[in-house]
Structure 1
């Protein structure tokens, strides 16, 4: 790059040169000048310092990688295909070499080389993508060999059950890595497979699946884990069979069964670029032969077009949801659309035209021209656009080594991007980019035509929208109160929102409304269904892409209608957050609520691509993650797929997974500013305890979180950063930041409301308590009701070591010997006070039973359980172990402290009340039922209450208490 730098970049280069001189020793500077003297392009250094803070940062931290590259001449030449892997093998062969540091340091050096050659135009685009891919392949193979050696030492060789032959793990590279088209800050999509089931031949025998699962996990950790040296490659395993819910590895038979019986078109699309990076040649050939009939049909497969259109709709929906219009990969006319054009022809014609069975995109486009699938001029335009877009992607990502395809907004990065793409300024670059994207988009539109309009299922003279819409049409469809239903339709039709729509939005609405009216007519109560879906329609009028999504996916529209008809709560959720319509596209996932491990894995995958320091992006993802999974739980409960206990389990696990991520984000945010607090052990030194419903594993759809924060760090210590603060101040701010992340209202609302009043000293106490302070308060100051609350305390996030300390305090408090009479009086007094405060005075007159606060209700059961734990744990320690009422009741029955029949009756009452409360919540009703309901359960609860507390009541309950 011989042309002079623009002033803004020249200033940056000069500044960074000065910093480098300050950082390096005199000896390092001397070696640098000597090595640099032989480099034939003296202007490259300033060019790189100006255009890549990533490269500048590497040079400031350590000149040795660059000195090595200069001395070896590797900056000025291409590497042979196997050269990268040989270098990594040599680095790992050094005595006492450790896998993770070596991989990460090797990656840094080679990314320095790759970005330098790309930015200085010493390497063409495809060499950059090839070299990045070869780096990934070398890292995978070397990490796999290193990890396998350790496992074989423990378990022996995995052998086939029938063949007896040693088995190897096949790592299938998907996507860009499969085609050797990785960008300079890419994640890698992998699938793991092995040929044959069996077991290992060592002293400790495990199945082949267990062995290869451990090996796969070790490989992912070796590449994906972020350490002080960074990471190697982010690993995404979601393309494997069954996605996140599936096994990490599959043998060939299991893979074949899956793809034959359950494989979907998007999986055919994903497997086009699949390439085995490891494994014996015979096994690789067998796997490829097995997969080829699934990927490529024997005939010209025009039936896949609708699936391809649906894929595009889902991609577009994700782009809209994440606001990626300025994304050179995913945005309008971006890289993804070029890839989609090529892969469409591969899926449609690849079974017959074998030349399309290639992985590299540009080779496929050339074959499309050869076969006449695309005009040569179109292929030329797509090729030129693709290379420009890939160069733009590299300029964006190589700037800070971040996985982003978004156009920069900072002037300095804009200037750097324009320079790297050979443009005089940012406006010139944007003009070239826009021209390329318009051409790509035009070819894309020509490829994926809109579906032809289907003939109305109802007679043409049945007007379901427009000027002739009337109650007569709705009656013909089966609406029972057509006059009432047509009124809001006519009001919507004549509203300013509809009249002011652009033509595209109006056309989509005109196409959508008849389909909606027909879909509602299929429900058991069409008028109710329509009334509940209409607010969503109103909400998305100006975002008609959502209507298009439902038009293209009639099954999703049916699901929407059925769910809204069943629950006004879901209808409100969808109207408030129409982005959740995406969840209706996959019925299997909609009605599958994952367990905690799968939730953790899914959230990890979702946040892996986000900078952890982008707080707003993290908060957005967390809110969508919660809303989507709460919808799944509600849908599963409404359809009877989940019992009450499972619903609460799922909602509680969801909260725990979110709290762990919130803590991780808050921790990063605080430590980036202040450094880590001084503490004696690893971990956060901070624990989050859930009380109430969260602690008792009984969360419902709108539950808030009762939390207590406890920390354990050096009493007079401080943080290690340049802006050092006291440990206590740090942990207080950590708690505050967590609450901020949880409670801040954004487009998708809050995550949770947080109640901290159960912390030591309540609202007047410190936000976070030290382990010593927590113990002291509970032992010396806490009221009886606070010890009652402690029964339901449970570690839900954070440091397990701190959690164990708090658990020891909890058990010590709960197992104290207490005078039972005085304890009973305290419990009765608190219960009466709570009822007087929270139960409406006119409940009896209104003939109502309040499920929670009424006599014989939920809180009565909870108070009896808490009394039992506090009264008898000193002689039955098992009572103090559990935090949920059901298992405490089981323990009371097992130990003979309550009659077994009493425990069963209380358990049935408790579950019945909570189930009713859940159903009422889904119907947006308060947890109040007619006084005559649940009489048997209320009698059982009040009978046990009288048995425990009758002699301790200060006075007989009033009439209101008796009735409620």
Structure 2
């Protein structure tokens, strides 16, 4: 209710000033006669205003006062509040932060006295103090009351800042320990016969084991049992199981006083399917034979807390060696990374940005990084073997495994996130890790963390800042220790240091750790600024290399590029300061041979990786202008074509790098969702680049041999995938050459000049060079290899009129001008249009001939020994099947459907679908197969550095192809099965649409 300004009382105004959001309600509460002392005492009002939520604190105080049994008790409470500042701060602090604890105090109005004492032992109680606090509990109900009373004191110290977040978490773990002991004692009293037969140890795991428990959390445990001397083992284990089950019920079941927390034993061997209690030898047998990587990571926090202390200590001593050998397991890093990815993937999409435990930049990222570093380096350094995250992080920093600044930032972020988690859970004592979206909740949490001016804004800013820090340092810390060690390696250093680094590299997937160590030492050793920047870059780069199929190649390539560019001032600065540049470079260098070979021939092209615009393919017109300008500046044809090929090399690197990054994805540039668009972009870019290179070469040859003008007009017509602007990285350039003598020039002189131009172009484009050759293939010309390389327009017209076969009409569907005289090229296209789009379509004889040719090609041209289910060009459902199906539709209906008059396969297929010449589902099946087969061909070239029409046989190369196609390591079989399935469906459509089956 809003009170008009003029009618507001002085109390209302004071309450508003003290921070109450609903002064009217507060004024009504304070009007009770019992609260006269509160209403008139500025000290108490100040104390209420200092709480996280003054309205909530006042309401809780009113309820507590009303719950007192008589006037004397109420007077005692209020007098003590006024006179004793420690109690005032503690009690009101709790009431303003926790509705649940206010409920407890209203039910148990005498428990406020637990907050009165303020002695040294009260500031940091341990298990013994909490055991005394629980000592009077005799059943589950009274245990819950005593537990909440102890919890009240922990929360009071926490919200008042008497303890920090790590101390509060440790106290919560100690309280859990005391509670487990009390519950076990109750279970033993209830079944003395069972207790007499067995020894039972309770091992805390997770946050309880790590002395970093939340206010509300499952308490993870493992039970170990043994028979007492003389007892039957089976009977003893059954007795121990009954005791353990009873303990779990005492803590977990809901009573009139609510519950304490669930006891979760699912971290035991075999999880829920395994026996609740095992002997020590049974535990060891499981861990030695069957345990997964994550189970050893979980055991890092194992700590005996209740039951038979000697047995608990024996258990921890027995499993510890297994924990510290876990990093030596095969696929250790991959297993842990997969586990982390699965956790993130399972977060509901609407919660990922509010999930402070499991989300990116959350608590789990800190714990994940610290534990992984402990498992790797704790084998040789016992100082790292703490079960507590912050203690372990401090030890990592002290030992030089983590930079001090990084450790400080991560410590700050972790403390903030844990404090945030504590405040969220404390309000209603509910298990949650989600940041609330209600402003009132956020305001209370912000104020509880000391943000009083703009709590909502400040909280959002701090949340964003700390999660960003965690996300940035999470991956960096994962690899940093190796580099710190390697950078200090020198001749004569102990074999242990070298071996530790070697083992780490092996764990990351490096096949030649010795060579990798040499590269790392060469890059990062020394005190120069260059070495310092490399030490900053390499930890993350190693991880990105390790995420590829060939980490060794990535690291070797990086060393070569760094050796070539290390003295240039911009190179390392680019990688350090441009967020995407270093990751882009790592992805490109470790993805195969093609792109790194291009880069190493001109390392300055690494500059393209620092800007997203640098990876955008250039359009044909500006590209051709650059090539022609470079040709114009050169002396002689060979230098001119070398310049054109240099541009081509750089642009091939740009395109291939963009392709790899778009397919693999980076943190800043996720993988492309539309792989069809990615394929089209590559095809267009490579085709335009080829056209520009040919145009530049033509200009260079004409200028060198004839000056400004050739005796004959000359044009180059793209054919096949070149004409369709669908070239892959390893494609030849299929072309036709057409010329027309200039006025007054003899036909033989013109033909001689035209043929000389073609011969010289082909020679220059294939000269041995650091640049990849460009093969010009004119075998699609009339009469094939036996026909003249160049014809006049009239000669083409005469041939096509008299001798043209249906396959030539089909080939001409891809004809498109690419270089030379534009008018002559346009005349050629006008000449062939009637052949490729015949009026009224094809006759039955022509259709039968096309089908016969296709069947013959399938039986004769597939290479001997090739798997027809995996050959991308001629195999089942591959490029040929799709393209011939589409081209038959073009030949039959192109005369009537303008959309079919395109040289591009996918455009023609979409036009046929739009014209209802093929069903939408069938078109989608063909399109998917064509895109996939094209991507496989591109991938093979990118990975192997040479063209191929089938999947590689080498395992590492095959895995790299899979990585390009979006498959994780170990999914090679899935990739091949998917390819066969997709192309099998395409073949079925082709047989129906093309053969009429």
Per the normalisation by structure 1, the TM-score is: 0.47
Larger Rg belongs to: 2
Name the structure where helix makes up a greater proportion of residues: 2
Per the normalisation by structure 2, the TM-score is: 0.46
